[in-house]
Structure 1
Protein backbone atom coordinates (compact mmCIF):
# COMPACT_ATOMS: atom_id res chain seq x y z
CA UNK A 1 0.00 0.00 0.00
CA UNK A 2 1.39 3.38 -0.99
CA UNK A 3 1.85 6.10 1.58
CA UNK A 4 -0.44 9.11 1.21
CA UNK A 5 1.05 12.29 -0.20
CA UNK A 6 1.26 14.91 2.53
CA UNK A 7 1.31 18.64 2.17
CA UNK A 8 4.31 20.40 3.74
CA UNK A 9 2.06 21.56 6.61
CA UNK A 10 0.80 18.04 7.27
CA UNK A 11 4.33 16.69 7.16
CA UNK A 12 5.58 19.32 9.64
CA UNK A 13 2.64 18.55 11.95
CA UNK A 14 3.35 14.80 11.79
CA UNK A 15 7.05 15.36 12.52
CA UNK A 16 6.22 17.56 15.52
CA UNK A 17 3.77 14.97 16.85
CA UNK A 18 6.36 12.20 16.48
CA UNK A 19 9.01 14.26 18.26
CA UNK A 20 6.60 14.93 21.12
CA UNK A 21 5.83 11.21 21.44
CA UNK A 22 9.56 10.32 21.50
CA UNK A 23 10.17 12.94 24.20
CA UNK A 24 7.29 11.63 26.34
CA UNK A 25 8.54 8.05 25.96
CA UNK A 26 12.06 9.12 26.89
CA UNK A 27 10.79 10.87 30.03
CA UNK A 28 8.78 7.77 30.97
CA UNK A 29 11.82 5.49 30.64
CA UNK A 30 13.99 7.97 32.58
CA UNK A 31 11.47 8.04 35.45
CA UNK A 32 11.50 4.22 35.61
CA UNK A 33 15.30 4.21 35.55
CA UNK A 34 15.40 6.79 38.38
CA UNK A 35 13.01 4.72 40.48
CA UNK A 36 10.24 7.34 40.45
CA UNK A 37 7.80 4.90 38.82
CA UNK A 38 7.49 1.15 39.21
CA UNK A 39 6.68 -1.34 36.49
CA UNK A 40 3.47 -2.27 38.32
CA UNK A 41 2.29 1.36 38.25
CA UNK A 42 3.27 1.83 34.62
CA UNK A 43 1.64 -1.39 33.39
CA UNK A 44 -1.51 -0.53 35.34
CA UNK A 45 -1.87 2.69 33.35
CA UNK A 46 -0.99 1.15 29.96
CA UNK A 47 -4.58 0.90 28.71
CA UNK A 48 -5.37 4.56 29.52
CA UNK A 49 -2.09 6.34 28.74
CA UNK A 50 -1.15 6.40 25.03
CA UNK A 51 2.54 6.98 25.74
CA UNK A 52 2.79 3.93 27.98
CA UNK A 53 0.49 1.82 25.81
CA UNK A 54 2.56 2.29 22.68
CA UNK A 55 5.88 1.58 24.40
CA UNK A 56 7.29 -1.92 24.00
CA UNK A 57 7.32 -4.01 27.17
CA UNK A 58 10.96 -4.93 26.57
CA UNK A 59 11.93 -1.24 26.56
CA UNK A 60 10.04 -0.66 29.82
CA UNK A 61 11.79 -3.61 31.46
CA UNK A 62 15.24 -2.58 30.21
CA UNK A 63 14.73 0.75 31.97
CA UNK A 64 14.49 -1.03 35.34
CA UNK A 65 17.82 -0.79 37.17
CA UNK A 66 19.54 -4.18 37.25
CA UNK A 67 17.75 -5.63 34.24
CA UNK A 68 19.69 -6.02 31.03
CA UNK A 69 18.85 -7.51 27.67
CA UNK A 70 19.41 -11.13 28.74
CA UNK A 71 17.33 -10.92 31.93
CA UNK A 72 14.56 -9.08 30.09
CA UNK A 73 14.47 -11.74 27.37
CA UNK A 74 14.25 -14.47 30.04
CA UNK A 75 11.44 -12.63 31.86
CA UNK A 76 9.46 -12.18 28.66
CA UNK A 77 9.88 -15.83 27.71
CA UNK A 78 8.92 -16.99 31.20
CA UNK A 79 5.75 -14.85 31.11
CA UNK A 80 4.92 -15.94 27.55
CA UNK A 81 5.21 -12.45 26.08
CA UNK A 82 6.40 -11.72 22.56
CA UNK A 83 9.48 -9.43 22.64
CA UNK A 84 7.73 -7.00 20.27
CA UNK A 85 4.57 -6.72 22.38
CA UNK A 86 3.52 -3.24 23.41
CA UNK A 87 2.34 -2.48 26.95
CA UNK A 88 -1.31 -1.90 26.00
CA UNK A 89 -1.44 -5.33 24.35
CA UNK A 90 -0.64 -7.31 27.49
CA UNK A 91 -3.28 -9.58 28.96
CA UNK A 92 -4.09 -9.64 32.66
CA UNK A 93 -2.18 -12.89 33.23
CA UNK A 94 0.88 -11.61 31.38
CA UNK A 95 0.84 -8.36 33.36
CA UNK A 96 0.44 -10.25 36.64
CA UNK A 97 3.26 -12.68 35.73
CA UNK A 98 5.64 -9.79 35.01
CA UNK A 99 4.78 -7.93 38.21
CA UNK A 100 5.16 -11.11 40.25
CA UNK A 101 8.52 -11.93 38.65
CA UNK A 102 9.82 -8.43 39.41
CA UNK A 103 8.32 -8.20 42.89
Structure 2
Protein backbone atom coordinates (compact mmCIF):
# COMPACT_ATOMS: atom_id res chain seq x y z
CA UNK A 1 0.00 0.00 0.00
CA UNK A 2 1.53 3.28 -1.09
CA UNK A 3 1.70 6.23 1.25
CA UNK A 4 -0.38 9.24 0.25
CA UNK A 5 1.49 12.15 -1.28
CA UNK A 6 1.60 15.01 1.22
CA UNK A 7 2.45 18.61 0.68
CA UNK A 8 5.21 20.21 2.71
CA UNK A 9 2.70 21.96 4.94
CA UNK A 10 0.83 18.69 5.56
CA UNK A 11 4.09 16.95 6.45
CA UNK A 12 5.01 19.77 8.84
CA UNK A 13 1.60 19.59 10.50
CA UNK A 14 1.87 15.80 10.89
CA UNK A 15 5.34 16.16 12.39
CA UNK A 16 4.12 18.76 14.90
CA UNK A 17 1.24 16.51 15.89
CA UNK A 18 3.57 13.52 16.36
CA UNK A 19 5.95 15.57 18.51
CA UNK A 20 3.05 16.79 20.67
CA UNK A 21 1.77 13.23 21.18
CA UNK A 22 5.24 11.95 22.11
CA UNK A 23 5.68 14.83 24.55
CA UNK A 24 2.33 14.10 26.20
CA UNK A 25 3.19 10.39 26.52
CA UNK A 26 6.57 11.24 28.05
CA UNK A 27 4.92 13.62 30.53
CA UNK A 28 2.39 10.95 31.43
CA UNK A 29 5.13 8.35 32.02
CA UNK A 30 7.08 10.84 34.15
CA UNK A 31 3.96 11.56 36.22
CA UNK A 32 3.41 7.83 36.67
CA UNK A 33 7.04 7.35 37.75
CA UNK A 34 6.82 10.19 40.27
CA UNK A 35 3.54 8.93 41.71
CA UNK A 36 1.54 11.97 40.61
CA UNK A 37 -0.64 9.64 38.51
CA UNK A 38 -1.69 6.18 39.66
CA UNK A 39 -2.25 3.13 37.49
CA UNK A 40 -6.05 3.09 38.03
CA UNK A 41 -6.23 6.74 36.94
CA UNK A 42 -4.11 5.99 33.89
CA UNK A 43 -6.22 2.98 32.91
CA UNK A 44 -9.42 4.98 33.36
CA UNK A 45 -8.37 7.29 30.54
CA UNK A 46 -9.69 6.03 27.23
CA UNK A 47 -7.85 8.20 24.73
CA UNK A 48 -5.28 7.38 22.06
CA UNK A 49 -2.42 8.74 24.14
CA UNK A 50 -2.90 6.07 26.80
CA UNK A 51 -4.41 3.40 24.55
CA UNK A 52 -1.33 3.13 22.37
CA UNK A 53 1.13 2.70 25.23
CA UNK A 54 2.58 -0.76 25.65
CA UNK A 55 1.64 -2.40 28.96
CA UNK A 56 5.30 -3.27 29.58
CA UNK A 57 6.32 0.41 29.27
CA UNK A 58 3.60 1.41 31.73
CA UNK A 59 4.70 -1.23 34.24
CA UNK A 60 8.33 -0.16 33.92
CA UNK A 61 7.27 3.41 34.65
CA UNK A 62 5.72 2.47 37.97
CA UNK A 63 7.85 3.27 41.00
CA UNK A 64 9.90 0.29 42.14
CA UNK A 65 9.36 -1.83 39.02
CA UNK A 66 12.18 -2.41 36.58
CA UNK A 67 12.51 -4.40 33.40
CA UNK A 68 12.85 -7.79 35.07
CA UNK A 69 9.91 -7.33 37.43
CA UNK A 70 7.77 -5.95 34.59
CA UNK A 71 8.50 -9.08 32.56
CA UNK A 72 7.60 -11.31 35.50
CA UNK A 73 4.34 -9.42 36.01
CA UNK A 74 3.41 -9.74 32.35
CA UNK A 75 4.04 -13.48 32.53
CA UNK A 76 2.06 -13.84 35.77
CA UNK A 77 -0.85 -11.80 34.38
CA UNK A 78 -0.72 -13.67 31.05
CA UNK A 79 -0.27 -10.47 29.05
CA UNK A 80 1.78 -10.48 25.87
CA UNK A 81 5.00 -8.46 25.77
CA UNK A 82 3.64 -6.53 22.80
CA UNK A 83 0.16 -5.81 24.20
CA UNK A 84 -0.98 -2.22 24.27
CA UNK A 85 -3.32 -0.73 26.88
CA UNK A 86 -6.16 -0.48 24.37
CA UNK A 87 -5.80 -4.20 23.63
CA UNK A 88 -6.20 -5.41 27.20
CA UNK A 89 -9.19 -7.62 27.81
CA UNK A 90 -11.58 -7.02 30.68
CA UNK A 91 -10.09 -9.82 32.80
CA UNK A 92 -6.50 -8.71 32.14
CA UNK A 93 -7.38 -5.13 33.05
CA UNK A 94 -9.15 -6.28 36.25
CA UNK A 95 -6.17 -8.45 37.32
CA UNK A 96 -3.78 -5.57 36.65
CA UNK A 97 -5.90 -3.17 38.70
CA UNK A 98 -6.26 -5.70 41.54
CA UNK A 99 -2.51 -6.15 41.66
CA UNK A 100 -1.83 -2.41 41.87
CA UNK A 101 -4.78 -1.31 43.97
CA UNK A 102 -3.78 1.52 46.26
CA UNK A 103 -5.22 1.88 49.71
CA UNK A 104 -6.14 5.50 50.37
Q: TM over 0.5, yes or no? A: yes
Do the aligned partners of 1:24 and 1:51 also contact (CA within 8 Å) in 2? yes
Distance in structure 2 (CA, Å) of the matches to 1:80 and 1:4: 38
What is the RMSD of the two structures over their aligned residues, measured on CA atoms? Answer: 1.2
- TM-superposed CA distance for 1:100, in Å, is 2.1
Q: Does 1:100 align with 2:98?
A: yes
Residue 53 (structure 1) aligned with residue 47 (structure 2): no
- Aligned partners of 1:52 and 1:87 also within 8 Å: yes
Other-structure match for 2:62: 64
Residues of 1 paired with 2:35 and 2:78: CA distance? 26
Number of equivalences: 101
The alignment's TM-score, normalised by the length of structure 2, stands at 0.89
* Distance in 2 (alpha carbons) for counterparts of 1:94 and 1:54: 16
Structure 1 gaps of 5+ residues are none
Moved over 3 A (4+): none
For 1:62 and 1:2, locate their aligned partners in 2 and report how far apart those are by CA, in whole Å. Answer: 36
TM superposition score normalised by structure 1: 0.90
